[in-house]
Chain A
Amino acid sequence: MKIIERKMNKVYTYIKLVLCSAFLVAASCETNELDLTEDPNFLTPSQASPDFFLNSIQEDFARHLEGDATGDPQDNFQTGGNVNGDGLSILGQELTRLMPFGSRDYQGGYQDIDTDDEWDNAYRGILFDIRNMAPLAQEAGLTRHLGIAQFVEAYVIVSMVDFYGDIPYTEAARAPEILNPILDSGASVYDAALTLLDAAIVNFTNNTSANPSTDFFYNNDYSKWVKATNTLKLKIYLQRRLVDSGAATSFNAIVASGNYIQDTADDLDWTWTATSASQPDTRHPRYGLNYASAGAGDYISNWMANQMQVGDDPRIRYYYYRQVTEAPGQEAAPDEELLTCSLQTPPPHYVSGGFTFCALPNGYWGRDHGDDEGGPPDGLLKTAHGVYPTGGRFDDDSFEAIAQNANVNSFGAGGFGITPILDAFMVDFWIAEMAMASGNLAGAASALESAMNKQIAKVQSFAVNDTGGDLSFEPTTTDVTNFVNDVVANFNAAASDAKWDILGEQHFVGHYGNGIETYNFYRRTGFPTTLQPNREPSPGAFIRSMYYPNQAVTSNPNITQKADQTTQVFWDTNPAGSFPVAN
C-alpha cells in the first residue's frame, strides 16, 4: 500500500508539474500577447502604390458623375430617396428634364441625406486619395500621376461648388490634423482650380520617371491631356462669366490658341467597358439598373422625348428604345393599370401652356416633370434607355421587351457606353453661349451648328455597338443635315429670347448623359423657357443648390444647413424666386 501511495504521490507531483507548465506556456504565449492592433484584413497605408491610387481616383471620378451607389460594398444604402445609382450628373439631368424629376415640390425634392454618397465620394474617394498619393508620386518623380490627379481635383471641386455653393477646400482632406474643415467661398475654390490646372499642364509636359499603369481616358497621350486641361479652364471661365469681367477674354484666349478639345476624337469621356456584369460590374450604371429581366425602372423624360419627336431629331432612335408601338391614352386605350394619368385630365397649367401630358404618341412612354406616382407593371412596356450613351438598344422598330434571356438582341450593346465629361461639342455650345452673351449672333449660330454636328456624329457612332440592331433605321445624312439646317435657320430667324430657347433646347438634348452642364446652363441663363413645368401648380422655388449632406451637417460643426434649396452659388447672379421661369 505504501509503495502504491509513493507511486501515486509521484504521479501527482508529475501531474502538478505538467499542469503548471502547461498553464505557464498557454498563459505566457498567445493569450498574453497584447500588441494586436493592426487589422489583418487590410493593407496598411505604407503599402500603398501610386498606380493603384490613381486607378481608384480615376474610377471614383467617373462615379462622381454617375453610378456611385451600385455594387459598391462601401455604399451607404438608404431607403427611399433619390440615391439609386446617381451622381451629380443624374441629379442635374433630373433637374433639367433630361430625366424625370419625381417630386411635386422642390423644397423636399432632394433631402439632405440624398447626396451623402456624392459628397463622400468626392472628398474621401477622390481628394483624400489624391492627398495620399501625391507624396508617393512626388518622391518617385511620377509627374503624370500628379497631373492627372490635379486635373481630376480641379473638375471635382468646381462641380462641387456648382452643386453646393461654398464647400470645404483649403482645410479639406487633411485628416487627422483637421477633422472639421471650414467652408471656402465658391469663388476662391474656382481660383484654386485654375491654379491646379496650370500645375497640371506643367506635369503633363515635363519629364517623368514613368507613365501611369492605366490611363483610362487617353492611354497616356499627354498632348490630349493638355487639351483637356485647357478645356476645363474654358468651362470654368464660362461658368463664372456673370461674375468675372475678364472671363470672356480668358475664354477667348484659349479658343484662339486652338489647344483644347476641338475634335471628338479628343473627347474626355469615361467608357463603361461592359466586359463584366459582376465582380466587377463594368456596364453603364443606367444600363445595369434598367436592362434587367423585369425591365426598365427609369422613365424617360416626356419633355425631351417630345422635343425630339416634334423636331424630327435624328438622335431619338439612339437615345430611346421603345418596347411597344403605342402608349395608353395615346393611340392605345387609356389603361388605369399601366398608366394612371392616361385616364386623368391634364392640370390647368399644362393645358394653358400647351404642354404634353402623361405620355406621347408612337410608343414614347415616359413621365412628366414632378410625377410622383408609384410604379405599375410597365417595365417591359415603357420606353427604355437607348444605345447612346447607356449602351442599351438601338431603336430599330423591333418593339421588343428588353433584357429577356430568350432574345439575345434584347440586350443591345450590353451596357457598353459612356459618361460624357468634356467633349468637343460641349466646347462649341460654350462658344455659342459666349457669343450670344457678347451679342455675336452669327458666331453663336455657327458654333451651335458645329456643336450639333459633332454631337450627332458622336451619337451615331454608337449604333454599331448594338450588334443585333437593324441599322437601316439609322437616319440618313440628309436627315441629319436637314435637321441641323432647320434648327440653325430657326435660330437665325428667332428673336433674342427665342434664340436663347433654341440654344438651350439643343444644349439640353445634346448633353444627354451629362446633367452637370445642363444644370449650370439653366441657372446661368434661365433658358430654355419652353420646358414642361412641374405637375404641381405651386411646387415652390427651384433648386438653386443642393442641401449640404446630412453627414456633413451633423458631424461637422463648421457646416450649418441652408435654410432651403434657394441658396444661389457664387456665379449665379440671376434673380431669386421665380427664376428660371419654366418650373
Chain B
Amino acid sequence: MKVKKLFGAIVTMLCLAATTYAQEKTITGTVTDQTGVPLPGVNIVVEGTSNGTQTDFDGNYAINASSGQTLLFTYIGQKAERRLIEATSTINLQMQEDAQALEEVIVTALGIKREKQALGYAVAEVGSEELEERAEGDIGRILTGKASGVNITQQSGLSGSGTNIVIRGFNSFSQSNQPLFIVDGVPFNADTNASGRQGSRQDFINGNNGSSRFLDLDPNSIESVNVLKGLAASTLYGSLGRNGVILITTKAGAGGAGTKKTEISVTSSFFFNEIASTPDYQNQYGNGFDQAFGWFFSNWGPSFDRGGVSGWGNSTSFDDAGTLPHPYSTASFSAAFPEFQGARYNWQPYDNFGNFFRTGTVTNTSINVAGASEDGKVSYNANYGYLKDIGFTPGNSLNRNNFGIGGRAQLSNKFTMSGALNYARTKFISPPVALSQGNGATGGGSSVFGDLFFTPRSVDVAGLPFQNPLDGSSVYYRQNNSIQHPLWTINNSGTQQETNRVFGNMGLQYDISDNLNLIYRLGIDNYSENNLNYQNRGGVNSNSNDIRVQSGIYETWNNTNTIWDHNIAINGDYDITEKVGTTFNLGFNGRREVFAQSGVSSDGQQVFGVLQHFNFLNQNEIQGSFQRNVIGLYGQIEFDYDNIFFLTLAGRNDWVSNLAKDNRALFYPSASLSFVPTTAFEDLKGDALGYLKFRAGYGTSAGFPDQNSDSYPVANRLSLDTQDFQDNTGTNIVSNSTGLTLGNPNLKPEQVSEIEIGLESRWWDNRISLDISLFQRTTTDLIVTQPLDPSSGFFRTNTNVGEIRGEGIELDLGLNLIRSESDGFNWNTNINFTANETEVTDLGNDTDLIVYSGFGNLGNAAIQGEPLGVIYGSRVARDGSGNLVVNAAGDYVQDSQDGIIGDPNPDFVTNMINSFSYKNFSLGFQMNYTHGGDIYSSTISTLLGRGLITETLDRENTFILPGVQQSDGRVNDVQINNSDYFFSNVLFGPSELQVYDASVIRLQEVSVAYSLPKKFLDKTPFGSLSFTVSGQNLWYDAINTPDGANFDPNVSGTGVGNGFGFDFLNGPSSKRYGLSVKATF
C-alpha cells in the first residue's frame, strides 16, 4: 500500500521534473557487481546536490540529472564509482569489490552490525564456503583450525561423540569454559549431557559419549560463523560471553539479503568414514607371558615361528602341528559348545583389530530455498538437511534431520518483523565406551574399545563365538571368562541419545525515526533428549565385578532443556558534527534456563534380551532439575571521528538467581579503541601499505555459578536415601545424611578482565594481510569447588579464591600469492598461529592443590605457580639427587606422594589453509600443527605394555631400568625381562610412565572442486553446478609418540569439560573422504 503510494509519488515527481527542467534528462541504467549479478540498493547521488536514488531489485535505476554533472555510485563493500554525464542517457555500471574491504560490515554482539574497521577487538569470520559440503556433520569439528585462538578437541572418532571448544585458553577451572553459542541472535544451548549417568564426576568413567548439542546444527544451513574471542567483544552478552561467543547466522536467519529471484540450492554428499588410527601391530609373537603361552590379556607369548629361542616348538602347550586346544574346548564350555570339545586352535596372527571395524558412510543432503518479494521487502529462506553418519565402529551411527524456515518482512508502517524457526531431530547410537586403562572397563560400565585394544595377535576376535547359546552371556577366550567379548558388547549393549529440538526467534523492530529504532526479540531453544543405556545380562566387568553389569542394566531418561531469552533494545545513530558520529544501544535482557531430567534405572534382567523395564528386578529413580535466571541491563555507545578513530564504550549489569541477594549482581564495563592511520595520514598509504589499523580493548566479564560447578552453591543440603540398606527381612532402611557441600552464602561471581591490543594491515594491494592480537587475561575471585578436609564435616565448598592469569598471541597471515583476473590461476594461503598459556598465580591460603578434573590421583590440577591443568598423578620415587629409584626386583618404586607428571598445555598451535584455483577447478587443503603438550595415554601404554605393536618386537633381551637401587643406591643393574619392563612399568607402573608428548601434525582437510562453466548450464535449469572431492583427517603424525601406536592425540578422555590431556582408550579417530555435489536452480 505504501509502496504503491511511494511509487506513485516517484512517478509523479519524475514527470514533474521532466516537464519543469527541460534541460535535465533521465539517466537510466543497471548496476551489477563484478560477477555481473545485479546489485539492488546502490546509492546514486548527483554530486553537489541532494538529488539521489537507489537501484531497485533488478539493479535498475533512473535519475534526473544534467550533462556535466557527476553521478556517484556507492555500495557497501564495493569501490565507489563516479560517472560524468555526457550525451548518452544510459549508464550501466559494473562495480568492483573493494578489495581493501574497509567498510566490511560484520555482525557483532547481539546482532549489531558494525564496520570492521570500527572494532577495537578481534573477530574471526568463517564463511559458508568453509563450512559446507564437509564430511563431518559437527559444526565444532569443522571449525577446527579455521580461526586462531580457538582450540577444538573431539572426545573420540565416534560419529556423534562430544566436542570440546575452548577459546583463548581456560579462564576458570570450575566454571564452564565452553563458548556461548548464539544462533540468529539468540542463545543456543551447546552443552554436553554425557550418556553416563552416575553424576558429573562419574560420567567420563562409565561412558562419556554424549553429543555436544551444537551437533543439532546443520553446517550446510549456516550462512556464516563469527567468533568473538575477547571480552571487549562480548561484554554485551555478560557472563555468558566470558568464554567467547560463536555467533552463527543460519541461512534461515539471514533472510532479508534481498535475493532477486527464488533460488534453490541443493547439496548432496557421500563420504566414507574409516578408522584413522589403526596401530601398526606386530605379527611375530602371540598370546602369553615371558615367551610362554597362556590365555592372557597380554601378547608376550611364543613366536609364531617354530624354532628359535621364543619359538612355539619349545612349548608343551602346542602339538606338533602348532595348534592349541581350542579356547572353548575346556570343560566349562562343554554344554554350551559341544562342537569345540577336542577342537584345535591354530597358532597364527589374526587381523583381529582391522577386521573388527568397518567402513562407515556419511550421506548428507541439504536443500536451501531463498527468495524475496518483488520489492525486496519480504524475504524468506527455508532449508532442510539430512545427515546419516554411520561410524566405522559397529553399533555407532548418527542420524539427523533438520528443518528451518525464516524470513523478514519490512512492513509499511515502520515495523520490521523477522523470525526463524528450526527443528532438529538427532539420533546418536553408540556402543558403551567406559573408561579403560588397558584391562577391560573400569567402574560400572562396559567398553567396546577397552576389551578390544589389548587383544592378543593369536586370538581371532571375529572367529570366536561371542554368545553362550544357552543363556546368552558373553564368552571369550580367557579361561575364567573374565573379558567381555567386544562383539558381545556390540550386540548386547549400547547407548542412545535421541534429541528433538526446536529453536528459533521472533523479532520486531520499530523505527521511531531514521535515527532511532526499538527492537524486541524473543528467543526460544528447547530440546528434549531421550537417553537409553542398556546391557543384557551375562556381561563381565572383572575389574569391578559390578553386579549390575552382570545382571543386566536398562536405564532410560529424558533431559529437557529450555532457554527463554527476551531482549529489548533501543538503538540510535546520530551525527554530532560533520566528522563525529555516534551510535548507541541500550537494552534489557532476560534469560531463563530450565533443565529437567527424569527417568528410571533398572537392573536384574529376567528374560535375556528383553529390554523393557518390566523385565528387570530393581528400579531406581533418575531425577534432577535445575533452573537459573539471569537478568541484564546493557548499554553501548560508539563514537567515530572521520573514519579515523573509533571509540566504543560498553557496560552491562547482570543479576543472577542462584547467589545470595547481596552478591548476585555485578557490573562489568568494557572499552575499545580503533585507529586507522592509513585514513588519517593519506601519505602513509602507498604501494606497500594499503591499510593499517591499530586497536586496543579492555573488557571485563563475570562468571556466575552454573551446572558445571554447582547450580545451587548457596544451598545446604540433606541427602535422603530410601535404599541405603535392608534389614534381614529385606525391608528397606531409610537414612539421611548431611550433604557433601557446604553452602556458601558469601559466594560472589568470579571476575575476568582482559586487555587486548592488535593491529590489522594489508600490504601490496592486498596480496599480504597480517593481523596480530595480543591479550592478557586475569580471572580473580575464582569460583572454586574447594576440597575441604572432611574432618571439618564437609567434603567441599564453593568459594572465591585465587587468581589465574592467561596471556597469548594470535596471528593471522593472509597471502594472495598469485592473483589473476577472472578465471586464471589463483593461490592464496592463510596461516594462523596461536600461543597462549595460563598460570595459576594464587590459590588462597588454605589450599595447595585442587584436582578439578579426572581422579584425585590422576587428573588436571591447579597448583600455584604452575600452568593451569598440569597432570597430577603417581610418580616414580626419586632419591636425594633426583635419580629414579628401582627396587630389588628391578621395577620402579612408586613415590608415596603424587606430583606433577605432565603439562597438557600445548606450546603453540598453527594452521595453514591453502587454496588454489584455475578456471573452474579449485584445490584446497588445511594443515594443522600442535607443538608440545602432554597426554596421559592408555592407548599407547596398552599397546606397548601388552606387547602388541612393532616397538615391542625387541623382547628376547633383558632390560635394565635407568635409575638407582633402593637398598644401597648403586646404579641399577637388575635385569628384567620384556614383560616386566613393558607390562609392569610402561603400562602398570606409576602414572608418570604413561605420559607422552602430544605434538601432532595433521592434514585436516583436502578438497578438489570443479564447477561447471556457465555456458554449459544455459540450457539447463541449473544456475550453478559444482562437484567436490574432499577428505578429512587423511593423515596425521603424533611425532613424539611410538610410531607403531599410530596414536591420535585428538581425544578427550575426561569428556567435554575442563579436563584435558587424557586418553582412557576412548576410541580411535576417523578419516573421511568422498564426493559432494552442489547445484543451484
Contacts and interface: CB of A to CB of B under 8 A. Distances in A.
Interface stretch (B77-85, B888-896, B1030-1038): B888-896
Interface in B917-950: none
A578 to B, nearest CB: 14
Interface stretch (B15-23, B641-649, B849-857): B849-857
A78 B857 contact: yes
Nearest to A333: B316
Contact of B547 (A173, A273, A292): A292
Interface stretch (A51-59, A310-318, A420-428): A51-59
Contacts of B730: 273, 275-276
Contact of A547 (B619, B889, B896): B896
B792 A554 contact: no
Interface in B437-485: 437, 442-443, 471, 473, 478-482
A545 to B, nearest CB: 13
B857 A80 contact: yes
Interface in B816-861: 845-849, 855-858
Given A43-B720, A294-B480, A295-B480, A128 B738 contact: yes
B657 A45 contact: no
A81 B795 contact: no
Interface stretch (B385-393, B670-678, B707-715, B770-778): B707-715
B520 interface: yes
Interface stretch (A200-208, A376-384, A502-510, A521-529): A376-384
B564 interface: yes
B856 A105 contact: no
Interface string A104-147: 11011011110010011001110111011000000000000000
Given A55-B725, A79-B855, A178 B792 contact: yes
Interface residues of B, number: 133
Interface size range of chain A in the complex: 35 or more
B202 interface: yes
A120 B788 CA distance: 10
A458 interface: no
Interface in A522-572: 536-538, 540, 547, 550-552, 554-557, 559, 561, 564-565
B415 A12 contact: yes
B547 A111 contact: no
B726 interface: yes
Highest count of chain B CB atoms <10 Å: which of A79, A173, A380: A79
Contact of B787 (A12, A80, A129, A551): A551
B295 interface: yes
Contacts of A340: 289-290
Residue among B471, B628, B655, B721 having the largest count of chain A Cβ atoms under 10 Å: B721
Contacts of B624: 41
Interface in B544-572: 545, 547-548, 550-551, 564, 566, 568
B194 to A, nearest CB: 15
A331 interface: no
B790 A119 contact: yes
A129 B718 CA distance: 10
B184 to A, nearest CB: 19
B687 interface: no
A556 B790 CA distance: 9
Given A44-B717, A77-B205, A275 B790 contact: no
B889 A278 contact: no
A44 B620 CA distance: 22
A351 B352 CA distance: 45
Contacts of A280: 723-726, 732
A405 interface: yes
Contact of A39 (B510, B712, B846): B712
Interface stretch (A23-31, A93-101, A254-262, A436-444): A23-31
A36 B628 contact: yes
A265 interface: no
B568 A23 contact: yes
A49 interface: yes
A82 B568 CA distance: 59
A266 interface: no
A159 to B, nearest CB: 15
B984 interface: yes
Contacts of B604: 277-278
Interface in B519-558: 520, 522, 538, 540, 542, 545, 547-548, 550-551
Nearest to B718: A43
Interface of A: 1, 4-5, 8-9, 12, 16, 19, 23, 26-27, 30-45, 47-49, 52-53, 55-56, 59-60, 73-74, 76-81, 104-105, 107-108, 110-113, 116, 119-120, 123-125, 127-129, 131-132, 167-168, 172-176, 178-181, 214, 216, 271, 273, 275-282, 288-290, 292-295, 297, 336-338, 340, 372, 374, 376-381, 401, 404-406, 536-538, 540, 547, 550-552, 554-557, 559, 561, 564-565
Nearest first, the 4 closest Cβ-Cβ pairs linking A and B are A337-B294, A556-B789, A294-B482, A128-B793
12 contacts: A77-B442, A112-B896, A119-B790, A123-B791, A295-B480, A297-B545, A338-B294, A401-B332, A404-B332, A552-B791, A554-B848, A561-B897
